[in-house]
């Protein structure tokens, strides 16, 4: 029996297990997936928790609900990948051999990387919303918060779901307005980027939205430390921003497993060919989702599009053919803008987010770089799609490759 | 795409003045860009520029934190050496493309 081993049963790993089980004959190929956690988190839902729109039960399901029949599942910590020996060592000493390996171990927030971030105000006046614990603690804090300086800070790039902190700012504006205390809350958005976003048109559109909503933007801010005593964040250039409540996006890093295995860059991301999705070092290793160092968003939509490319290329590699699929870095993000409305961006390695309609040119129903109710419904519907279609590796009416049709230059 | 004469050599640059062919880069050209940016280059500057050029040649993403951890220079001194916008200035002087955040 040949062996396909998948490390990580998050969004990307689960999709790959479902896709590959369909392709590979069960009497020839064993597929095994390993993860240390039994719960699958719908991470896009964390954003809604601080504002009481979702609770814990809305974002969790057992991972075992999503694995196809005929895949071996092991819940265990992974000690080390030994690519030269083509095996993987689990925590309890069990050794798993593989013919092909998919690394889908994701990335995580590492608040310890910023001095003072995890100081004595952590989860008192300083929160994150990229973990279930942080999102729930912040929800609790907001229930009785009397207002003041609300500062949203992105520590550094890259980080998961690049639009989430903006959505957080828009939600905060709506949340405190609806509670009749917006006049007591100053919202400041502090980012290492030169503007609200990176590419010109989306930056302008989202920057205008921040302004309309009276959210102050502090750009080019590379955080050096959090001063817990004086409640301020300080950047390397000396700029200081005071806070009463700091909502931080801590630095993101790949899994420690990657570091233990000596396979990552200085952020523990695995060097990966951005088009084939094959490891740059090992021909029988493929890397998908947040674990890879490819220059696109760390987001489920990217993993979803990449999965279709990987499915094809992995089959090429398994059958000894040249790889035929090429990933273009496609990302697609619904952006909540508050008050039941949203906007949408669709882009790739080479094309910045452009206005237009999606997914059907001229028809939509979703509008790119427009604020509409329909876009908000898209985001709300997406949770259902995620659990029922996406994770199971079924097809959606959206191409893996970004389409120019429907976009306006 | 445009051409610009720097230190007596015609080099191709992008619209915002970043060199598009980093193989054309010389120390003299670096000096010429630096003086436009109001930076006077020291040996330490060249050490940092070398680090940046190597990083970019490897296809790595440049971040303030990555530079801080490089062992070449800490972030505070990096800000002092290239005041204002250190990443943008240093990459311009190093003759590599403007750092793009890829999200």
User: CB–CB of B26/B17 below 8 Å?
Assistant: no
Domains A2-108+253-318 and A109-251 share a fold: yes
Among B residues 67-86, those touching chain A with beta carbons less than 8 Å apart: 69, 75-76, 78-79, 84-86
The alpha carbon of residue A136 is apart from the nearest alpha carbon of chain B, in Å, by 27
Domain covering A2-108+253-318, topology: FAD/NAD(P)-binding domain (3.50.50)
Query: How confident is the model over B28-43, as a mean pLDDT?
Result: 93
Which pairing describes strands B9-13 and B2-6: parallel, antiparallel, or unpaired? antiparallel
Give the model's pLDDT for residue B65.
75
Residue B20: inside a domain: yes
Judge whether residue B102 has pLDDT over 80.
no
Boundaries of domain holding B42:
2-94
Per-residue pLDDT tens over the stretch B68-83: 888 899 888 998 899 8
Q: Please determine, for residue A347, whether its predicted confidence score (pLDDT) is greater than 80.
A: yes
Count the domains in chain B: 1
Q: Does B2 touch chain A (CB under 8 A)?
A: no
For range B45-54, the mean pLDDT: 94
Annotated active-site residue B102? The verdict is yes
Q: Say yes or no: B102 contacts chain A, CB-CB below 8 A.
A: yes
Q: Report CA-CA distances (Å) from B51 to A224, B24, B48, B72, B96.
A: 21, 17, 5, 8, 12
Q: Alpha-carbon distance A393 to A375, whole Å?
A: 23
Chain B residues with CB under 8 Å of A351 CB are none
Q: A162 to chain B: nearest residue by CA?
A: B103
> Which of the four pLDDT bands, split at 50, 70 and 90, describes residue A109?
very high
Please write down the long-range contacts of B24-31, taking CB distance under 8 Å and 24 or more positions apart: B24/B95, B25/B53, B25/B94, B25/B95, B29/B95, B30/B93, B30/B94, B30/B95, B31/B7
A383 or B68: whose pLDDT is higher?
A383
Residue B100 in domain? no
Joined tokens for residue A104: 């889908």
pLDDT tens, position by position, A216-235: 999 989 899 999 999 999 99
Q: Give the pLDDT confidence score for residue B101 in this predicted structure.
A: 61
Topology of the domain comprising A109-251: FAD/NAD(P)-binding domain (3.50.50)
Cβ contact, residue pair A198, B64, below 8 Å: no
Measured from the Cβ of residue A179, the count of other Cβ atoms closer than 10 Å reads 13
Weakest mean pLDDT among A118-132, A391-405, B27-41:
A391-405
Percent composition of chain A: helix, strand, coil (DSSP 3-state, to 5): 30, 30, 40
**pLDDT digit string (tens) for A290-324?**
999 998 999 999 999 999 999 999 999 999 999 99
Query: Is the per-residue pLDDT at A88 higher than 80?
Result: yes
Tell me the ipTM for this assembly: 0.76
What is the rounded CA–CA span in Å between residue A253 and residue A221? 20
> What pLDDT shows up at residue A397?
81
With 90 as the cut, is the pLDDT of residue A131 above it? Answer: yes
All structural domains of chain A with their residue ranges: 2-108+253-318, 109-251, 331-390
Q: Which residue, among B94, B2, B103, B88, has the nearest Cα to B41 in the 3D structure? A: B94
A293–B85 CB contact, under 8 Å: no
Q: For residues A344-363, give the mean pLDDT.
A: 92
């Amino acid at each position: 029996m040949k062996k396909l081993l998948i490390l990580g049963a998050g969004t990307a790993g689960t999709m790959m297990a479902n896709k590959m089980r369909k392709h590979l004959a069960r009497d020839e190929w064993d597929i095994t997936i390993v993860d240390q956690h039994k719960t699958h988190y719908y991470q896009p839902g964390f954003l809604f928790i601080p504002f009481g729109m979702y609770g814990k039960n809305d974002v969790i399901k057992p991972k075992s609900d999503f694995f196809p029949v005929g895949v071996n599942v092991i819940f265990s910590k992974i000690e080390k990948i030994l690519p030269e020996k083509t095996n993987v060592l689990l925590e309890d000493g069990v050794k798993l051999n593989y013919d092909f390996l998919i690394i889908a171990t994701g990335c995580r927030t590492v608040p310890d990387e910023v001095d003072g971030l995890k100081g004595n105000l952590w989860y008192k006046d300083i929160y994150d919303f990229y973990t279930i614990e942080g999102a729930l603690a912040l929800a609790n804090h907001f229930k009785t918060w009397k207002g003041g300086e609300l500062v949203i800070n992105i520590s550094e790039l890259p980080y998961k779901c690049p639009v989430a902190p903006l959505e957080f700012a828009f939600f905060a504006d709506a949340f405190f307005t609806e509670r009749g205390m917006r006049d007591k809350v100053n919202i400041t958005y502090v980012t290492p980027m030169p503007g609200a976003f990176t590419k010109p048109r989306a930056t302008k559109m989202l920057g205008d939205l921040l302004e309309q909503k009276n959210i102050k933007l502090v750009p080019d801010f590379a955080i050096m430390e959090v001063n817990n005593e004086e409640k301020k964040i300080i950047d390397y250039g000396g700029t200081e921003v005071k806070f009463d409540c700091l909502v931080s996006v801590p630095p993101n890093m790949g899994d420690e497993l990657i570091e233990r295995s000596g396979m990552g860059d200085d952020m523990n991301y695995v060097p990966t060919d951005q088009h084939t999705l094959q490891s740059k070092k090992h021909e029988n290793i493929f890397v998908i989702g947040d674990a890879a160092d490819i220059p696109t968003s760390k987001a489920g939509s990217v993993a979803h599009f990449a999965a279709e490319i990987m499915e094809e290329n992995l089959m090429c590699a398994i059958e000894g053919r040249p790889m035929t699929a090429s990933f273009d870095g496609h990302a697609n993000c619904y952006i909540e803008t508050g008050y039941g409305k949203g906007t949408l961006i669709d882009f790739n390695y080479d094309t910045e987010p452009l206005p237009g309609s999606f997914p059907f040119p001229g028809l939509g129903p979703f509008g790119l770089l427009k604020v509409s109710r329909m876009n908000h419904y898209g985001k709300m519907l997406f949770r259902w799609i995620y659990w029922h279609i996406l994770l199971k590796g079924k097809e959606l009416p959206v191409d893996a490759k970004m389409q120019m049709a429907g976009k306006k230059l | 795409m445009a051409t610009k004469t720097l230190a007596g050599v015609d080099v191709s640059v992008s619209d915002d003045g970043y060199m598009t062919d980093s193989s054309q880069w010389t120390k003299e050209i670096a000096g010429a860009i630096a003086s436009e940016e109001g930076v006077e280059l020291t040996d330490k500057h060249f050490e940092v520029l070398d680090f940046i050029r190597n990083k970019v040649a490897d296809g790595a993403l440049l971040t303030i934190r990555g530079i801080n951890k490089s062992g070449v220079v800490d972030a505070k001194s990096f800000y002092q050496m290239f005041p204002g916008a250190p990443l943008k200035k240093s990459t311009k002087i190093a003759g590599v493309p403007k750092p793009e955040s890829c999200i």
